[in-house]
Chain A
Amino acid sequence: MVLSKATSHSDDFTIHSTFASRYVRTSFPRFKMPENSIPKEAAFQIINDELMLDGNPRLNLASFVTTWMEPECDKLIMASVNKNYVDMDEYPVTTELQNRCVNMIAHLFNAPLGEAEAAVGVGTVGSSEAIMLAGLAFKRKWQNKRKAEGKPYDKPNIVTGANVQVCWEKFARYFEVELKEVKLREDYLVMDPVKAVEMVDENTICVAAILGSTLNGEFEDVKLLNDLLIEKNKQTGWDTPIHVDAASGGFIAPFLYPELEWDFRLPLVKSINVSGHKYGLVYAGIGWVIWRSKEDLPEELIFHINYLGTDQPTFTLNFSKGSSQVIAQYYQLIRLGYEGYKNIMENCRENMLVLKAGLEKTGRFNIVSKDNGVPLVAFSLKNNSCHDEFEVSDYLRRFGWIVPAYTMPADAQNVTVLRVVIREDFSRTLAERLVIDIQKVLHELDTLPAKITAKIALNGENADKNVTVVTKKSAIETQREITTVWRKFVMEKKKMNGVC
């Protein structure tokens, strides 16, 4: 009689739990696809566990991008995750929802539309794509104008402040447009309209103003820019238009500051972009760009996709993408309505004021951000000789908070700030807790040995005693000094300090 042994090789998973199986004992392939499959439970657990070491999105105070939505909306998002947004014919309702969003946002921005007139705009993956589309439209319009005038059209440029977000630099570099930046000043951290208009020349395709500067949340004075540019246009006849990058501010100003004229109420504003995933209160992955009228979007840039007989005009860089965020944006627009958005923005502003007051009370900080603008608090240390803002940022991580520290762009590079963005889900209790934790951090830093400079000053007193002083640095001081020097060096090396 032959005794046969049954070997169980691949099915040990059904018997054992995940952490008892061999799948978690093998080292995971990093650079090459593994040869064999593994059970889905193991795959889920392994990846889930690694991701535990990512930061907690809701404690990420660096980002403007939405980190919380209602469960009902999550349900809608998950249900539409397999709908390819670009299949307009297959998913006509989803396409319709996008059109409704475009129209609602256009009306919110006071686009000069008739009662039944359809707005001109499109949903994008974010403000980067939106800005590239808007920039392309300006570039093409300007080129056509110059060609008609028989003038050279090979050196287009765009005028903007040095505080622009990196996507403008991307646009400039990838689409071969020169970027003319208005330098900032220590006391004026946004684009100065007077200087901007001075920089405008015949090759300028547009002037880009920012509603809600990334660095300190300030709204640029678009009205003044408009007025000054109208005058210049009268003199020169160049007809230079304005684009408003309202990535953050577009969903704040209409609710908190309705009298502020920054949108299509100003005649030179031809297009506006806004991030649905910032104060539009949708998860990452959606932006909007609206044009004033059909004339502002050259027809030759639009692709007419004829699919089973229906003509669908499209103007986007991306093609296939998920439908979830578009549906989520529509959900938010009708769920909250004007009143709902207003309430949320007011709450954000309130919490911002509470945080600001708490920081001022410590007596250690200067507040760099303004009260009016995007709800954020940018603050710098009154005295950063012993410890600087980067150290504060580091230490706050221990409590779980991610609070970034930045240096300002030229010509205000000696200003370093910490920045806390107040999002919808940053409640009053969290604000109070943050203040307490910042105080703890300051307290801890105060007890730490000060930097080398102080030490040398101390030793200087002994210098005239003809003693050669060797300043003994502790290992950590040396390391810290090295990292600080390199950090500052790297920050200044490339203009783009990754503020986003």
Chain B
Amino acid sequence: MVITTTIPDSGEHLDSTFASRYVRTPVPKYKMPANPIPKEAAYQIINDELMLDGTPRLNLASFVTTWMEPECEKLMMASINKNYVDMDEYPVTTELQNRCVNMIARLFNAPVGETDTAVGVGTVGSSEAIMLAGLAFKRKWQSKRKLEGKPYDKPNIVTGANVQVCWEKFARYFEVDLKEVKLSEGYYVMDPVKAVEMVDENTICVAAILGSTLTGEFENVKLLNELLTEKNKETGWDTPIHVDAASGGFIAPFIYPTLEWDFRLPLVKSINASGHKYGLVYPGVGWVVWRTKEDLPDDLVFHINYLGSDQPTFTLNFSKGSSQIIAQYYQFVRLGFEGYKNVMENCLENARALKEGIEKTGLFNIVSKDVGVPLVAFSLKDSSKYDVFEISGSLRKFGWIVPAYTMPPNAEHIAVLRVVIREDFSRALAERLISDIEKVMKEMETHLIRVSTKTAHVTATVDETQDGDDGGKKHIKKSARETPEEIATYWRQLVARKKTGVC
């Protein structure tokens, strides 16, 4: 009789994930593994590694939405396999995008009739939106110059030095010169007077920001419009304005409806807004709206003829998911004007509470304004002993991600910490943040006392060893921690000054 032994196949059905061999082997990093692994193991391995990422909701650096209602998440998951660009296959999804464009255009007071369709498109974010808007300006300007028989090879765009990096990308990739209005201490946004001075015949547009990334301030678009209108009268150049309302576009209409910044100003030809910032949608959706059809040159629009239906499209990306578009529509109908207003008012209230708590410590100057994006930017009154970068580092211990930046030229000596108040940053969290900041400041002070006593001690030691055999060289012995800390701080500040990379 032959006794046969069965060798179990791969053990994956019998053992639990953490009992299997899959978690004992190192995860392949740079080369595709030869063999498959069970899906439970794959899930667990990746999930566990991702535990070491920051917690999105405690990321106070970002304007981008980090929480949505479960009902919306359900809709998003259901549409994750819909390729947004298949307009003929998914006509309802396409219709929802069109509705969003129209709602946003009317929110921005675009001069469209009751039943007219607005001109605009959904994008992956404000970067793509800005590139499309910039392309439209560039093409319009080139056509105009060609007609006039003038050179059109040196287009430029006038904007403040506080612009977000996507403007620099646009400039560099689409070969447009970026003329930046320098900031000054105490004035951290674009000065309309200086901007208009910089406009020349090659300027394709002036870009104003509603909700500066650094301080949340709204630029004075109305004043820009008036000054530029006058200059256009003199020069006849017809220079238009673009408003980068990435953050402010979903705040101003609800909280400051009388503030004129949008299509109510005649020179404003296009506006972009990030659906994934105060549009309250997860990352991956932005919007750009043009004033009228005339502001979008037709030769940039591609007409995709698919099974007989003409679908005009103007985007850089083609295939992408539909989830965020549907989520944006969900938010519009779920919240309505009233709902958005309530959310924004809550954010401002919480920003105010945070600001007061920070002011009460007596150690900070508040750099942000009350009117603008709900955020609090603050700098140290006295940064001789320690700086904001160290505070930012220490706050991480409590789980908070609060970034520190230096301002762009010409205010590079100002460094701030910035806390962005999003929808899901409640009053309770604000109070907790304040108490943690107080803890950190106390720690900074006691740490200093320790260092200064150590230095005093060391100086004493040095005096004693002056006749040492190393010829009087003074070695201040630093602890293992202090040296790398000092080096890191030095490099951090050096690199931070080089490019602020604020986003």
Across the interface, which residues of B come within 8 angstroms of A75, CB to CB?
43, 47
Knowing A128-B318, A307-B501, say if A498 contacts B305 (CB, 8 Å): yes
Q: Is B173 an interface residue (CB 8 A)?
A: yes
Q: Is B306 an interface residue (CB 8 A)?
A: yes
Stretch at the interface among A41-49, A261-269, A434-442: A41-49
Contact A63 B403 (CB under 8 A): no
Alpha-carbon gap, A295 to B103, bound state (A):
47
Knowing A37-B339, A44-B71, say if A174 contacts B300 (CB, 8 Å): yes
Shortest beta-carbon distance, A472 to chain B, in Å? Answer: 26
Across the interface, which residues of A come within 8 angstroms of B92, CB to CB?
50-51, 53-54
Alpha-carbon gap, A311 to B35, bound state (A):
35
Q: Is A487 an interface residue (CB 8 A)?
A: yes
Across the interface, which residues of A come within 8 angstroms of B35, CB to CB?
337-340
Q: Is A294 an interface residue (CB 8 A)?
A: no
Contact B99 A334 (CB under 8 A): no
Contact among B124, B300, B401, B499 for A125, CB-based, below 8 A: B124
Best-surrounded residue of A28, A103, A169 (most CB of chain B within 10 A): A103
Given A31-B102, A40-B71, A319-B503, output 12 extra A-B contacts at Cβ < 8 Å.
A31-B115, A37-B335, A38-B334, A82-B65, A84-B283, A87-B61, A104-B32, A174-B316, A301-B173, A490-B310, A498-B304, A498-B305
Across the interface, which residues of B come within 8 angstroms of A169, CB to CB?
302
Q: Is B263 an interface residue (CB 8 A)?
A: no
Alpha-carbon gap, A167 to B66, bound state (A):
32
Contact B37 A335 (CB under 8 A): yes
Contact A33 B47 (CB under 8 A): no
Across the interface, which residues of B come within 8 angstroms of A69, CB to CB?
81
Alpha-carbon gap, A176 to B302, bound state (A):
15
Contact B337 A34 (CB under 8 A): yes
Contact among B28, B91, B401 for A54, CB-based, below 8 A: B91
Contact among A47, A55, A311, A325 for B330, CB-based, below 8 A: A47
Across the interface, which residues of A come within 8 angstroms of B135, CB to CB?
174
Q: Is A108 an interface residue (CB 8 A)?
A: yes
Knowing A338-B34, A494-B303, say if A90 contacts B401 (CB, 8 Å): yes
**A residues 86-137 in Cβ contact with B at 8 Å:** 86-87, 90-94, 97, 100, 103-104, 107-108, 119, 125-129, 132, 136
Best-surrounded residue of B32, B125, B166, B300 (most CB of chain A within 10 A): B32
Alpha-carbon gap, A497 to B310, bound state (A):
10
**A residues 469-500 in Cβ contact with B at 8 Å:** 483, 486-487, 490-491, 493-494, 496-498, 500
Best-surrounded residue of B40, B117, B492, B501 (most CB of chain A within 10 A): B501
**B residues 68-117 in Cβ contact with A at 8 Å:** 68-69, 71-86, 89-93, 96, 99, 102-103, 106-107, 114-115, 117
**B residues 40-59 in Cβ contact with A at 8 Å:** 40, 42-43, 45-47, 49-50, 52-54, 56-57, 59
Knowing A54-B82, A330-B46, A331-B43, say if A47 contacts B326 (CB, 8 Å): yes
Contact B127 A496 (CB under 8 A): no
Contact B496 A100 (CB under 8 A): no
Alpha-carbon gap, A136 to B169, bound state (A):
12
Contact B62 A170 (CB under 8 A): no
Contact among A68, A127, A338, A490 for B318, CB-based, below 8 A: A127
Contact A166 B318 (CB under 8 A): yes
Contact B499 A304 (CB under 8 A): yes
Q: Is A60 an interface residue (CB 8 A)?
A: yes
Contact A79 B47 (CB under 8 A): yes
- Of chain A, the residue at the smallest CB distance from B127 is A319
Number of B residues near A (Cβ < 8 Å) is: 133
Across the interface, which residues of A come within 8 angstroms of B491, CB to CB?
309
Contact A311 B495 (CB under 8 A): yes
Alpha-carbon gap, A114 to B330, bound state (A):
49
Across the interface, which residues of A come within 8 angstroms of B124, CB to CB?
125, 318, 321
Contact B319 A128 (CB under 8 A): yes
Contact B53 A93 (CB under 8 A): yes
Contact A104 B39 (CB under 8 A): no
- Of chain B, the residue at the smallest CB distance from A50 is B92
Q: Is A83 an interface residue (CB 8 A)?
A: yes
Alpha-carbon gap, A73 to B117, bound state (A):
39
Alpha-carbon gap, A87 to B130, bound state (A):
20
Contact B389 A336 (CB under 8 A): no
Contact among B89, B283, B329, B392 for A82, CB-based, below 8 A: B283
Contact A284 B305 (CB under 8 A): no
Q: Is B404 an interface residue (CB 8 A)?
A: yes
Contact A320 B125 (CB under 8 A): yes
Best-surrounded residue of B37, B56, B168, B389 (most CB of chain A within 10 A): B56
Across the interface, which residues of A come within 8 angstroms of B308, CB to CB?
390, 483, 486-487, 490-491
Across the interface, which residues of B come within 8 angstroms of A306, CB to CB?
495-496, 498-501
Contact B89 A307 (CB under 8 A): no
Across the interface, which residues of B come within 8 angstroms of A48, CB to CB?
75, 78
Contact A320 B65 (CB under 8 A): no
Scan B5-44; emit 1 where CB is below 8 A from any A CB, else 0: 0000000000000000000000111111111110110110
Q: Is A457 an interface residue (CB 8 A)?
A: no
Contact among B103, B169, B401 for A32, CB-based, below 8 A: B103
Q: Is B336 an interface residue (CB 8 A)?
A: yes
Alpha-carbon gap, A108 to B30, bound state (A):
10
Contact B320 A94 (CB under 8 A): no
Scan A416-460; emit 1 where CB is below 8 A from any B CB, else 0: 000000000000000000000000000000000000000000000
- Of chain B, the residue at the smallest CB distance from A81 is B282
Shortest beta-carbon distance, A306 to chain B, in Å? Answer: 5
Report the 7 A-B pairs with minimum CB-CB distance, sorted nearest first: A498-B306, A340-B36, A335-B42, A309-B492, A37-B339, A43-B334, A72-B43
Shortest beta-carbon distance, A441 to chain B, in Å? Answer: 16
Q: Is B351 an interface residue (CB 8 A)?
A: no
Best-surrounded residue of B172, B319, B330, B338 (most CB of chain A within 10 A): B319
Shortest beta-carbon distance, B494 to chain A, in Å? Answer: 9
Scan B302-335; emit 1 where CB is below 8 A from any A CB, else 0: 1111111011000011111111101001101111
